[in-house]
Amino acid sequence: MGNRNGSEDVLRVCRIKEDAKRSYDRLSKFYDLISRPFESKYWYTALKLLNVKEGEMALEVGFGTGHGLKQIAERVGRTGKAYGVDISSGMCKITEKRLEEAGLTAELYCGDATHLPYEDNKFDAVFSSFTIELFDTLEIPVVLGEIRRVMKPNGRICFVSLSKENGGSRMLRSYEWVHKKFPKYADCRPIYLERSVRDAGFEVEHRERAKLFGLPIEIVVGIKG
């Protein structure tokens, strides 16, 4: 069966949202130990590419423990405003504390990015790192459509994701096997990020490739045309 973003061979995500929420609530206290040493250099690179400026309205989708959102809040300054969406209440509590300790503010929303609680044409910049590939294949166009809706004309996006572009790599095939066998533990899977972004109506301005433990990664910068 095909889908809107033309990624017929992308694996499905079968875990229901409540299971995902409970899982990340449990992981929230330890998530930095598990993921930050490996993922931080990629989201840091992506944030530099997004180039959030003072005075802008900026959103992070899937902010996790809030390190990226903290940087966004610093960059928008007092004349701008930072926003964040995450499905996990545990992540929201940790991020709220991190921002408070840094003397920063952001408006946090604990919920599903398939229904963003913002008006049309609100944001100058939207950031998301290692999040879009957590959504089921049929939900990815929905999430990207919501992001596009809430962005201003000529607004900028930057996403980081596991990538299926190098679909023949041994590490990628091994990871997909683990995802199929143990979907509750290997909950994300590689996707065609650039293709999905283009199909959602964004103009791709920049794309980088990298690897995480041998797994292909894409960093994509786009514009709402």
What 3-state DSSP class applies to 199? helix
Query: Are the beta carbons of 191 and 8 closer than 8 angstroms?
Result: no
CA 35 to chain centre: 14
Domain assignment present for residue 5? The answer is: no
What's 114's domain CATH number? 3.40.50.150
Domain assignment present for residue 153? The answer is: yes
Q: Where are the alpha helices (DSSP H) in the chain?
A: 17-27, 31-50, 67-76, 89-101, 140-150, 170-181, 193-199
Is the pLDDT at 21 greater than 70, yes or no?
A: yes
Domain assignment present for residue 7? The answer is: no
From the list 135, 128, 137, 92, the residue with the least C-alpha distance to 111 is: 92
Is the pLDDT at 210 greater than 70, yes or no?
A: yes
Instruction: Give the model's pLDDT for residue 1.
Output: 35
Number of domains in the chain: 1
If one compares 106 and 175, the residue with the highest pLDDT of the two is 106
What is the extent of the structural domain holding 202?
17-224
pTM for the structure as a whole: 0.94
Gap between the Cα atoms of 223 and 145, Å rounded: 13
If one compares 213 and 185, the residue with the highest pLDDT of the two is 213
Gap between the Cα atoms of 86 and 66, Å rounded: 10
Domain assignment present for residue 1? The answer is: no
Is the pLDDT at 3 greater than 50, yes or no?
A: no
Domain assignment present for residue 151? The answer is: yes
Domain assignment present for residue 87? The answer is: yes
Domain assignment present for residue 6? The answer is: no
Q: What is the pLDDT of residues 51-74, one digit of tens each?
A: 999 999 999 999 999 999 999 999
CA atoms lying within 13 Å on the CB side of residue 222: 28
Domain assignment present for residue 113? The answer is: yes
Q: What is the pLDDT of residues 115-158, one digit of tens each?
A: 999 999 999 999 999 999 999 999 999 999 999 999 999 999 99
Instruction: Give the model's pLDDT for residue 60.
Output: 98
What 3-state DSSP class applies to 150? helix
From the list 158, 136, 146, the residue with the least C-alpha distance to 10 is: 136
For residue 83, give every residue at least 6 positions away whose Cβ sits within 8 Å of its Cβ, in sequence order, or none. 57, 58, 59, 60, 106, 107, 108, 109, 118, 123
